[in-house]
Chain A
Amino acid sequence: MAAAYEIEVILNRQLADCLFVPVFIIDTGGNLIFYNEPAEEILGQRFEETGEMSVDEWGTAFKPVDEHGDALPPDELPLVKTLKYQSPYHKSFWIKSLTGVNQKISVTSYPIINRAGNMLGAVAIFWKSTEE
């Protein structure tokens, strides 16, 4: 059995479970360890069905593009930057989800760093963008 998560990660999941906005939680390896019900609509799958997803599995679920429709390199995505630099990031862009819908979204990501300063994972919050 894999090790239990630290309480900082558990509390983020419990919070995400109560929120209206889609939330994704990943571990330090980039694996998707939880997404809430609103996020299921974006992903087109239910967490109860998929369980945790490796970075290879869920990394292809979205096709992020810029305003010209050009693919965004992973290094420009907030969650990737948060994992890399352990800092919060924010960006608006377009995605094509597994449901085939194109939508402009804003993403804010933040690192989960415990009291001892250890990086435990990251959280990404998505919502439909209202920015022009």
Chain B
Amino acid sequence: MRIKLWGVRGSIPVAGPETEYYGGQTSCMDVCEEGYQLIFDGGSGIQKLELNNTKTPKRIDIFLTHLHMDHIQGLGFFRPLFDPGNEVHIWGPKSSTHTLHARLGRYLSPPLFPVLLRDLPCKLTFHEIERSQVEIGPFTITSNYIIHPGPTLAYRIEGKRSVLTYIPDHEPALGKNGIIDDVRWLSGFELARDTDLLLHDGQYSSEEYIMRKGWGHSSIVDAGKFAQMTNVKKVLFTHHDPYSTDNQLHKLFENFLKSNSYKYECEMAREGMVIDLD
């Protein structure tokens, strides 16, 4: 399984030399195996994503965790949607009120965007999922809701030999005393359990998180604890705060390493990073 990160920034894209190392594009990742390609989230990072689906080159599968702007804002600039020969499947969280098509259409319609969803030339199919399991090529993709404002999914992607869990926006510590020390009460536990690689929200320092409780994100310390409780092999902390410069992110990670000694490997996610899992 080969994973490439096309966007690891949270909230809003940023540009400039002070964010060049970790990158400024918002959430997007692709996963490839045996000629199949899956795309996760349509943040601004999707604009430069390279199609790499050799088995079904005209089919594109995009799994959205949720519909906050930083996870969909790149869709309108993703060229394959404008190719009439393409069959595009968009998978996203079911809501109890509006359809996925209607909710995405709020962005992909005037006055926010000049082209209506229904006018996109590709053949577009929407799939509303919740606690679901889907098989595409060598992949089994399991989804479930996790704690984040609005319907939000996390994904567990099982390939032939390895497992990846994608949870870019998550606040498992929401509550009076933070994360409950019992995995049965841990949001996202079953999706992340024993995974080979976990991409997890680690947007804030512990001090920043106190001021932003309820916003739907994690401190890097809580993300580290989540990874420990779920027994993952490796973690990439992602969804970097748009106000954090490269130096501040280096410092955040250094402080995390100094004050925590978990047995798993960990790194900060970087735009353009390629990870081979076997």
* Chain B 145-177 interface 0/1 with A at a Cβ cutoff of 8 Å (1 = within): 111000100000000000000000000001111
**Residues of B in contact, count (CB < 8 Å):** 21
Provide the residues of chain A in CB contact with B189, threshold 8 Å: 4
A interface, CB within 8 angstroms of B? 1-7, 10-11, 13-15, 17-18, 114-117
For residue B147, which residue of chain A has the nearest CB? Answer: A7
If A4-B184, A5-B185, A10-B185 touch, does A115 touch B151 (CB 8 Å cutoff)? yes
Does residue B190 face the partner (Cβ distance < 8 Å to A)?
A: yes
How many angstroms from the CA of A15 to the CA of B174 in the assembled complex?
9
Contact yes or no, A6 B145, CB < 8 A? yes
Kindly state the separation between the CA atoms of A15 and B175 in the bound complex, as whole angstroms: 7
**CB–CB A116/B94 < 8 A:** yes
Closest residue on chain A to residue B174 by CB atoms: A14
The chain A residue sitting closest to B175, CB to CB, is A14
Q: Which of A4, A15, A116 contacts B186 (CB 8 A)?
A: A4
> In the complex, what distance in Å separates the CA atom of A14 from the CA atom of B94?
24
Give every chain B residue within 8 A of A1 (Cβ-Cβ).
183-184
Query: Are B185 and A11 interface neighbours, CB within 8 A?
Result: no
Given contacts A13-B180, A14-B174, A14-B176, contact A115 B187 (CB under 8 A): no
Q: Collect the chain B residues with CB atoms within 8 Å of residue A116's CB.
A: 94, 96, 130-131
Which residues of chain A are within 8 angstroms of B95 by Cβ–Cβ distance?
115
Given contacts A14-B176, A18-B176, contact A7 B145 (CB under 8 A): yes
Tell me the interface secondary structure of chain B in the complex: loop
CB distance from B97 to the nearest CB of A (A): 9
Contact residues of B between 89 and 128, Cβ < 8 Å to A: 94-96
Interface centre among A2, A13, A18, A115 (most CB of B within 10 A): A115
A5 touching B184 in the complex, CB below 8 Å, given contacts A11-B147, A17-B176: yes
Contact of A17 among B145, B146, B151, B177 (CB under 8 A): B177
Is the Cβ of A18 less than 8 Å from the Cβ of B94? Answer: no
Asked whether, in the complex, the Cβ of A11 is within 8 Å of the Cβ of B96, the reply is: no
CB distance from A27 to the nearest CB of B (A): 11
CB–CB A10/B94 < 8 A: no
**CB nearest neighbor in B for A15:** B175
Residues of the A chain whose Cβ atoms lie less than 8 Å from the Cβ of B145? 6-7, 114-115
Asked whether A10 lies within 8 Å of B147 as measured between CB atoms, the reply is yes
How far does the alpha carbon of A115 sit from the alpha carbon of B151 in the complex, in Å?
A: 9
Closest to B93 in A: A115
- A residues within 8 A CB of B177? 17
Which residues of the other chain, A, contact B176 by a CB distance below 8 angstroms?
Answer: 14, 17-18
- B179 nearest CB across to chain A (Å): 10
A4, A5, A18: the one within 8 Å of B175 (CB): A18
Q: A11-B174, A13-B175 known; 8 other A-B pairs, CB under 8 Å?
A: A2-B184, A4-B184, A4-B189, A4-B190, A14-B176, A114-B145, A116-B96, A116-B130
Output the nearest chain A residue to B177 by Cβ-Cβ distance.
Answer: A17
- A46–B206 CA distance with the chains assembled, in angstroms: 30
Task: Give A105 Cβ to nearest chain B Cβ, in Å.
Answer: 24
